[in-house]
Structure 1
Amino acid sequence: MVDSPFSGFVWMMGSRVMTNGRLRVAVLKDRYPMQFMTARHSRHELDWRRFLPFTLLSHRLEGFTVLAPGKRVDLVHSSNRIPLGVQKYILSFEDSAPRRFGFAQDNLLTRYMDDCIGSHRCRRLVAMSYFARRRFLHQHRDNPMLPALQDKLTVRYPNIILRDAPDPLRDDPCTELVLTFVGAHFARKGGCVAVKIAEKAKAAGLPIRVNVISPLEMGAAIWTDPEREGFYDEYKDLLTLDNVDYSARLPNDVMRGKLRQSHFCVLTTFADSFGFSGIEAMAEHTPVLGTRVCALPEVVQDDVNGILIDMPVDSLGMWVRPADTPRSSPAYEGYFRSEVDRIAQGAIERLAPLVGDGETVQAMRRAARATAEARFDSHTASQYWDALYAEVADEDLASVPRRREPLLPDPAPLKRSEFGGSFAYSFDSQQH
């Protein structure tokens, strides 16, 4: 078992601290991903803990953290970051674990983090998707601890609260289509595509209106984006089109209201660990217009609960961008611009026949809601997480961690892209 340099913090762990089978679980209080990966209606007491963000010192230190002191707890549930100094924890993750972005080679720190998740203190590893599981297995393909890691590796989709309300567009004739894009990272998540769809629709005389909700974060700090600030002027100018409604930020309930009144959610992402706006849309009966990349093909079935535009991807499902082409170069800008245009044109070609076809759109909306109910319902998820917390709390720390539930086959086996290009995959270079 790994001895942490923060071993002084282990006092926060205790034996069963609550009665009647009710546990106290320390949960990482991040900005928002953690709420999708824990029990929203728990029978246990969830103690949401602030944490020390080592990324303030360096982006390379995203893979671990220290939780704030608090009451004694039975176990810790953390997301993406290894909680140092605790005796028993569950680690759920969006895309890879441990996060070692910025480290091209193994070193003492990355090996220490691997030892942490391989120790008996880490009782379960919970991937947010089968895409995340593929990335994890690829990341640890040469790790001698891989068999032990696989024993405690499982998959659980995010969850969301489903309102018990009918579809407000159930009788809509779809004579005008409304699309809504939501995402802080404007270019990476598909905002450039969204406004290009609006531009192309206007030029073609198609009645398509686009809502954009984004603080417009883009550029050098985001690993998919062209670096030059002026590159984005042509897309920002499109926010003023008369068929575009732009908001920098909206409260979550207002944002979900926009999705509820939209015919499609736009998630034409270049790289996304999951895409929470997609499941928020499905919860509101709204299908997803997305790209066939990362975890989206697990969630969106083309022509059933949404529309998928093909992307050049590698064997793990990651977007393939030009090799050895700096993001600061005109060549990269040209490629990114051409991809935005291609995806937008593909979207227009798929959307145009749906104008006035309320029957087809309604079928997609029913399927989108059914997907949310079957896969993302918060009550079902709460039962899963509560049972897992009880299971882990009862385990002897000296025992070998092993998941009890069977792991289902990957539901989205990848096919080689029709776009050509190399399928050699570099885990670390995708992020920084």
Structure 2
Amino acid sequence: MQYMTARHSKHILDWRRFVPFTMISPRLEGFTLLAPGRRTDLVHSENRIPLGAHKFILSFEDSAPRRFGFEADNALTRYMDAAIASHRCRRLIAMSNFARNRFLDQHRNNPALPALQAKLAVRYPNIVIGDTPDLLQDDDGKTLVLTFVGAHFARKGGCVAVKIAEKALAAGVPLRVNIISPLVMGETVWTDPSRPGFYDEYKALLNLDNVRHFPGLPYAQMREMLGRSHFGVLTTFADSFGFSAIEAMAEHTPVLGTRVCALPEVIDDGVNGILIDMPVDRLGMWLRPQDLSRASPAYEAYFRSEVDRIAEAALQRLAPLVGDGDRLRGMRRAAKASAIAKFDSHAASDYWDGLYDEVAAENVASVPRRREPLPNEAAAVSATGFGGVSG
């Protein structure tokens, strides 16, 4: 939630606990009840509709309402749709243009779409940038350091990261990889092959001479490690946004990522990072084989081949940068500038505080409409393609 609110607010923000209906069923992720407490003028919720709130703002990272696991409309999904269309829902704030486009597609047949569009806006997540100097400003880049951060090891690109390390050793490319992850993977992660033994080959790569694995680090140490890296790694298969990318940029560090979901909005290929193409649908979401069970050998073979392809493409982009200190410093300057321009917490606090003032003063009987101009929508992709390019 802190990524999508005022970190330096002039208001009193009551960080209220909510009822985790997902403990009953993972399908019940789209709504919640707030724990009782003092009176509120306005509720701002992330991803979950706050039932019973007099007035609320709903920000979201991918779709709204969340209806994962519900393949068809039912009384519950219709109730959630009605809640965000009601006057009680004063604003809908998408975390990215990707999220906005996914929302519009989700509601393309909803009669309430004009009312939803009228209160729909986009605001990127924010992060404390700081004025710390570039920790690698005098580095010659003769040995590249990559750092992967993510709990979901396979989904977010940890398998790719260690495969890059293996390929670099074989090719004689001086490169080291840090892995910060508790190594969550498999059945519980919707992108992953489900058989536990599938990951043995990638776990073995954690023992390579050019790989260091940390099950976890304090936040400040993680940020410092990113700052001492030449690239943050987020070679993800599916990530609504990917906060580790902006955390890396805040530390002057460009990002090695995949061209999927919101990452093309964050990474300017060759400028503040590197983007590796992915097979995606018209919304920019990963096109995985829908006819294959995640437990099947065929799905495992596909996932393994994609990991290898992404790792090979990444190494081909990284190898020419070894020893090119001038180019690396240019990318680092661009990464820091991108973080300041798009994700600075002070600018975000001004936005959110102004929005809270505006919405708190509105009569709940009035028609909710955003006042700020909406950025131009990203061009829609008319057909599925590779890397988001229509075919």
Task: Provide closer, same or farther for how the CA distance between residues 412 and 182 of structure 1 changes in structure 2, counting only shifts above 3 A.
Answer: farther
Task: Provide closer, same or farther for how the CA distance between residues 84 and 157 of structure 1 changes in structure 2, counting only shifts above 3 A.
Answer: same
User: 3-state DSSP class of the match of 2:44?
Assistant: strand
- Aligned partner of 1:219 in structure 2 is 186
Q: 2:157, 2:23 → 1: CA distance? A: 28
Verify: 1:344 aligned to 2:311, yes or no: yes
Q: 1:222, 1:304 → 2: CA distance? A: 32
- 1:314, CA displacement in angstroms? 0.3
Q: 1:264, 1:413 → 2: CA distance? A: 30
- Aligned partner of 2:140 in structure 1 is 173
Q: Look up the equivalent residue of 1:176 and give its one-letter code.
A: T
Q: 1:323, 1:230 → 2: CA distance? A: 22
Q: Deviations over 1:315-374 (max 9, x none)?
A: 000000113111111110000000000000000000000000011111100000000000
Cα pair 2:282 2:380 within 8 Å, conserved:
no
Q: 1:106, 1:196 → 2: CA distance? A: 42
Q: 1:111, 1:159 → 2: CA distance? A: 32
- Aligned partner of 1:429 in structure 2 is none
Cα pair 1:188 1:225 within 8 Å, conserved:
yes
Task: Provide closer, same or farther for how the CA distance between residues 285 and 417 of structure 1 changes in structure 2, counting only shifts above 3 A.
Answer: farther
Q: Deviations over 1:221-274 (max 9, x none)?
A: 111100101000000010011100100111111100100000000000000010
Verify: 1:377 aligned to 2:354, yes or no: no
Q: 1:333, 1:340 → 2: CA distance? A: 11
| Aligned with 1:109 (options 51, 71, 76) | 76
Cα pair 2:277 2:387 within 8 Å, conserved:
no
- Aligned partner of 1:43 in structure 2 is 10
Bigger shift: 319-328 or 148-157? Answer: 319-328
Unmatched 5+ residue regions in structure 2?
none
Q: Look up the equivalent residue of 2:253 and give its one-letter code.
A: T
Unmatched 5+ residue regions in structure 1?
1-33, 424-432
- Aligned partner of 1:160 in structure 2 is 127
Q: Look up the equivalent residue of 2:42 and give its one-letter code.
A: L
Q: 1:218, 1:113 → 2: CA distance? A: 31
What stretches of structure 1 move > 3 A for 4+ residues in a row? 411-421
Query: What pairs up with 1:218-237 in 2 under 5 angstroms?
Result: 218-237=185-204
Cα pair 1:311 1:417 within 8 Å, conserved:
no
Cα pair 1:313 1:416 within 8 Å, conserved:
no
Cα pair 1:298 1:411 within 8 Å, conserved:
no
User: 3-state DSSP class of the match of 1:347?
Assistant: helix
Q: Percent identity?
A: 73
| Aligned with 1:150 (options 114, 117, 125) | 117
- Aligned partner of 1:319 in structure 2 is 286
Verify: 1:272 aligned to 2:221, yes or no: no
Q: Look up the equivalent residue of 1:179 and give its one-letter code.
A: L
Q: 1:50, 1:97 → 2: CA distance? A: 20
- Give the TM-score normalised by the residue count of structure 2: 0.98
- 1:163, CA displacement in angstroms? 1.3
- 1:220, CA displacement in angstroms? 1.1
Cα pair 1:190 1:270 within 8 Å, conserved:
yes
- Aligned partner of 2:172 in structure 1 is 205
- Give the TM-score normalised by the residue count of structure 1: 0.88
Q: 1:115, 1:416 → 2: CA distance? A: 31
Q: Deviations over 1:90-141 (max 9, x none)?
A: 0000100000000000100000000010111100000000000011011111
- 1:414, CA displacement in angstroms? 4.4
Q: Look up the equivalent residue of 1:66 and give its one-letter code.
A: L
User: 3-state DSSP class of the match of 1:48?
Assistant: coil
Verify: 1:397 aligned to 2:359, yes or no: no
User: 3-state DSSP class of the match of 1:297?
Assistant: helix
Q: 2:130, 2:65 → 1: CA distance? A: 35
Q: Look up the equivalent residue of 2:126 and give its one-letter code.
A: N
| Aligned with 1:126 (options 88, 93, 105) | 93
What is the RMSD computed on CA atoms of the aligned residues?
1.3
Verify: 1:98 aligned to 2:90, yes or no: no
- Aligned partner of 2:160 in structure 1 is 193
Q: Look up the equivalent residue of 2:351 and give its one-letter code.
A: Y
Q: 2:290, 2:142 → 1: CA distance? A: 43
- Aligned partner of 1:364 in structure 2 is 331
Q: 1:254, 1:415 → 2: CA distance? A: 43
Verify: 1:260 aligned to 2:232, yes or no: no
Q: 1:399, 1:366 → 2: CA distance? A: 46
| Aligned with 1:72 (options 22, 26, 39) | 39
Verify: 1:308 aligned to 2:269, yes or no: no
Task: Provide closer, same or farther for how the CA distance between residues 329 and 260 of structure 1 changes in structure 2, counting only shifts above 3 A.
Answer: same
Q: 1:134, 1:208 → 2: CA distance? A: 38
Q: Deviations over 1:281-329 (max 9, x none)?
A: 0000000000000000001000000000000000000000113111111
